[in-house]
Amino acid sequence: MFTLKAPAKINLTLEVLEKRKDGYHEITSIIQTISLADILEFQPAEKFVFHCDNSEWKAEKSLVSRAAILFASNTDARCGARINIQKKIPLSAGLGGESSAAAITLVGLNHLLHTELLPGDLYHLAEQLGSDVPFFLTGGTALVSGRGEKVSPLPSLPHHWVILLVPPEMETPGKTEKMYSLLKPIYFTSGLITDSFISSLTLGKMKTLPELYNVFDEVAGEMFERIEWHKEQFYLAGAKSVNMAGSGPVLFSLEEDESRAEQITQRLSERGLKAILTHTLDSNGHDFI
Ligand code: C5P
């Protein structure tokens, strides 16, 4: 038996360049893993069994069970596995929890079942599960492009505290697809915001954090009724800049100073809002616990 962490992510930039003929959108995005993580425990078992401590998580709807089925059908592994999940990442939040758990399921099964799939084989399975899944095989700071499946590692973002504000939205089935469908061509950009962020990262001249950008901030109000109110609360609590995580509705703000980050988190909590203090990760490895 062993456990692995499946970290959440935030998008430091997320630009849509165009709509593709296959229905997907061509994106360019810098993604960053953070310390908030689900914990997946892998045990040998005769067949696949999934258990999660959050009763709203349903195995049959989850990418974790799809990842296990895909893994089994692409290897000659005979046995199954019991996967116990401690859910720390809010569901359907824009933090990539499902995609991360699916990627880590592939990594964990490969270890548990001694199938010795190579990184390229795992990547091939991951990209079939969802556009965001391949990124989580490595994590850290990376540029993703294509529909999100092309991943190029970047130098680590200098350590930042990440304050998350989790609005009490109801789960919206097909949310990512709906958010993409709200994007009109006027919201498409050239990729320059991402290029300029990469220049600051690679030239190592990041004295102040470059502009963060998420195209979904433009249409968030059409999907999440109270998102502007939540952003306002974040600014009132002292945040300097607030962006949505992926397709939302979680909001985040970055802070270099720990005591400021704690203060903002505390102020949000005092107003009865769900705030989580976490931080950026710089390692590319998987945390075996
Ligand atoms: O790849 P994934 O299954 O996560 O995508 C869910 C949906 O989001 C897709 O069916 C598509 O409608 C939309 N999408 C998109 N462009 C992307 C990624 C996702 O339009 N780059």
pLDDT in tens, 93-133: 999 999 999 999 999 999 999 999 999 999 999 999 999 99
Instruction: Note the pTM of the prediction, 2 decimals.
Output: 0.96
Q: What is the pLDDT of residue 289?
A: 45
Average pLDDT over the chain, rounded to whole?
94
Report the atom number in ligand 1 closest to the C-alpha of 26. Answer: 21
CA distances from residue 148 to 28, 115, 126, 151, 268 in whole angstroms, order as listed: 8, 27, 11, 7, 32
In this predicted structure, the answer to whether residue 36 has a pLDDT above a threshold of 90 is yes
Distance CA 18, CA 189 (A): 8
Q: What is the pLDDT of residue 286?
A: 56
Closest C-alpha to ligand 1, atom 15: 24
Mean per-residue pLDDT for 151-167? 95
Residue 25 Cβ contacting ligand 1 at under 6 Å = yes
Query: Of 278, 282, 281, whose CA–CA distance to 250 is shortest?
Result: 278
pLDDT tens digits along 176-220: 999 999 999 999 999 999 999 999 998 876 778 888 999 999 999
Distance CA 232, CA 66 (A): 38
Residue 27 Cβ contacting ligand 1 at under 6 Å = yes
In this predicted structure, the answer to whether residue 287 has a pLDDT above a threshold of 70 is no
Instruction: Count other C-beta atoms under 10 Å from residue 229's C-beta.
Output: 11
Mean per-residue pLDDT for 128-148? 97
Distance CA 30, CA 7 (A): 16
132 is catalytic: yes
Q: Which of 9, 88, 175, 231 is catalytic?
A: 9
